[in-house]
């Protein structure tokens, strides 16, 4: 994480791209800073300003546009906060905001405006969060999210997991992380030791949007997580100019599966301020999804989903406007 690229000029130079690409970057970079780890940069194509990995991390002037319907709190997280860094929206699952740091800054991220300094479960050694988890016996699954929980040091995560192990009603531990993808070396012995020794069933949800993000190193990292007993899923976000193409999405599913990962969700973009240029309109998304489904076995087709404030689950939408739950 310490050697991640944070200077737009340096990133352009590494990719053999002209400095003219800097126009607009400065303002957007001031809103949400560029951050991209070197192993991820290494998978970008040189000399291609439209590279799908670059597009996910490159600050664009368009982020400064105010677009109606794109808000600071797109998914109603602020209303679901219980304090102590816990978001409890859905039955049986409590999400812990383990940290505000990420290995990579994704431009479309719905948490880019989140008040991490105030809402962070680790801030007071998890005390408040753990108290809530102990007293609410309806919680069967603890989800570590953020930010990226694997930004935390292993001794902190090991301590947390040891404590969770002793709460009898908790059965599953889920991590939502991009680190095994953007910094595969993060999956090291220390991580595998605590992950492999908990009594909890472990689930790791990675976040891969494009097949080019997967290489031999991610394959190794994911294989080690699987060998440590974790069930691996992927969630992707449908992003204009990155993966809004059925062939790309089909290759993504197949390459994920080849690395031991089951496609779980394909999310429509959360309507967060600064991300409107990534939007794929719902009807087009459903058309793409129909084409994707025609190319793959059912178990490689992720749920097409979106998150709507105030609902009891993610909203799963189908292939056409007449199926699924129409909320808008
Ligand atoms: C998405 C999300 C979950 C997990 O939902 P699943 O459908 O179980 O993957 C849990 N809590 C919050 C706050 C979420 O946003
Ligand atoms: S929370 Fe996830 S999607 Fe958002 S910036 Fe961090 S790694 Fe990217």
196 in the same domain as 132: yes
84 in the same domain as 60: no
128 in the same domain as 160: yes
**Cα–Cα nearest to 298, from 257, 248, 243, 245:** 257
42 in the same domain as 144: no
3-state secondary structure 50-71: CCHHHHHHCCCHHHHCCCCCCE
Atom of ligand 2 nearest to the CA of 146: 1
315 in the same domain as 198: yes
Query: Is position 1 within any domain?
Result: no
181 in the same domain as 146: yes
84 by Cβ neighbours in 10 Å (0-12 / 13-18 / 19+) ranks as: buried
| Of the residues 16, 35, 64, the one at which a domain ends | 64
Query: Is position 95 within any domain?
Result: yes
Query: Is position 105 within any domain?
Result: yes
Total domains present in the chain? 2
Q: Does the structure show a pLDDT above 50 at 282?
A: yes
Quote the tokens at residue 88: 């409890």
Q: How confident is the model at residue 104 (pLDDT cuts 50, 70, 90)?
A: very high
60 in the same domain as 82: no
Query: Is position 126 within any domain?
Result: yes
Q: Does the structure show a pLDDT above 90 at 23?
A: no
Does the beta carbon of 89 sit less than 6 angstroms from any atom of ligand 1?
Answer: yes
Q: How far apart are the first and last CA of the chain?
A: 40
Q: How confident is the model at residue 79 (pLDDT cuts 50, 70, 90)?
A: low
- Mean pLDDT of the residues in the chain: 92
| Of the residues 17, 32, 64, the one at which a domain ends | 64
* Alpha carbons 160 and 138: distance in angstroms, whole number: 19
- Between the CA of 69 and the centroid of ligand 2 the distance, in Å, is 21
How high is the pLDDT of residue 74?
65
pTM attached to this predicted model? 0.94
Q: Does the structure show a pLDDT above 70 at 156?
A: yes
Query: Is position 71 within any domain?
Result: no
Contacts of 47 (CB under 8 A, 6+ apart): 15, 16, 17
40 in the same domain as 148: no
Q: Which ligand is nearest to the CA of 140?
A: 1
Q: How confident is the model at residue 234 (pLDDT cuts 50, 70, 90)?
A: very high
Query: What are 161-195's pLDDT values in tens digits?
Result: 999 999 999 999 999 999 999 999 999 999 999 99
How high is the pLDDT of residue 215?
98
Whole-number Cα distances in Å, 80 to 90, 173, 306, 328: 10, 20, 17, 21
How high is the pLDDT of residue 11?
97
**Cα–Cα nearest to 105, from 153, 58, 42, 43:** 58
- Between the CA of 26 and the centroid of ligand 1 the distance, in Å, is 34
Query: Is position 73 within any domain?
Result: no
- Listed in sequence order, the DSSP H helices in the chain are 8-14, 25-31, 38-41, 52-57, 77-80, 127-135, 154-165, 179-182, 189-197, 216-227, 246-258, 282-293
238 in the same domain as 313: yes
Does the beta carbon of 104 sit less than 6 angstroms from any atom of ligand 2?
Answer: yes
How high is the pLDDT of residue 22?
86
How high is the pLDDT of residue 126?
84
119 in the same domain as 249: yes
Query: Which of 22-36, 48-62, 213-227, 311-325 has the lowest average pLDDT?
Result: 311-325
Query: Is position 232 within any domain?
Result: yes
How high is the pLDDT of residue 123?
65
**H/E run at residue 265:** strand 262-267
Domain span at residue 53 reads 8-64
Query: Is position 135 within any domain?
Result: yes
CB 278, CB 240: distance < 8 Å: yes
Provide the CATH number for the domain around residue 278.
3.20.20.70
Q: How confident is the model at residue 326 (pLDDT cuts 50, 70, 90)?
A: very low
322 in the same domain as 201: yes
Using CA positions, which residue lies closest to atom 15 of ligand 1? 89
195 by Cβ neighbours in 10 Å (0-12 / 13-18 / 19+) ranks as: buried
Does the beta carbon of 111 sit less than 6 angstroms from any atom of ligand 2?
Answer: yes
| Of the residues 64, 87, 102, the one at which a domain ends | 64
């Amino acid at each position: 994480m310490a050697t991640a690229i944070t200077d737009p000029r340096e990133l352009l130079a590494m990719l053999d791209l002209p400095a003219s690409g800097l126009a607009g970057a400065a303002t957007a970079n001031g809103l949400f800073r560029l951050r991209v780890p070197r192993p991820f940069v290494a998978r970008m194509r040189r000399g291609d300003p439209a590279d799908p990995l670059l597009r996910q991390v490159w600050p664009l002037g368009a982020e400064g546009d105010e677009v109606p319907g794109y808000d600071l709190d797109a998914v109603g997280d602020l209303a679901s906060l219980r304090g102590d860094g816990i978001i409890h929206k859905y039955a049986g699952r409590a999400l812990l905001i383990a940290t505000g740091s990420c290995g990579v800054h994704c431009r479309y991220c719905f948490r880019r405006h989140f008040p991490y300094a105030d809402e962070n479960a680790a801030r007071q050694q998890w005390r408040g969060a753990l108290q809530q988890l102990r007293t609410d016996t309806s919680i069967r699954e603890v989800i570590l999210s953020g930010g990226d929980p694997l930004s935390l040091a292993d001794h902190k995560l090991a301590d947390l997991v040891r404590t969770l192990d002793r709460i009898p009603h908790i059965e599953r531990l889920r991590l939502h992380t991009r680190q095994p993808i953007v910094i595969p070396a993060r999956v090291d012995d220390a991580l595998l030791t605590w992950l492999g020794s908990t009594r909890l069933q472990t689930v790791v949800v990675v976040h891969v949007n494009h097949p080019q993000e997967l290489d031999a190193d991610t394959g190794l990292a994911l294989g080690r997580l699987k060998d440590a007993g974790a069930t691996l899923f992927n969630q992707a976000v449908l992003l204009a100019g990155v993966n809004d193409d059925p062939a790309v999405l089909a290759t993504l599913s197949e390459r994920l599966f080849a690395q031991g990962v089951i496609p779980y969700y394909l999310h429509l973009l959360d309507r967060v301020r600064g991300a409107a240029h990534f939007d794929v309109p719902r009807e087009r998304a459903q058309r793409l999804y129909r084409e994707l489904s025609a190319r793959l076995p059912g178990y490689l087709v992720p749920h097409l989903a979106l998150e709507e404030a105030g609902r009891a689950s993610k909203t799963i939408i189908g292939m056409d406007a007449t199926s699924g739950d129409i909320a808008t």
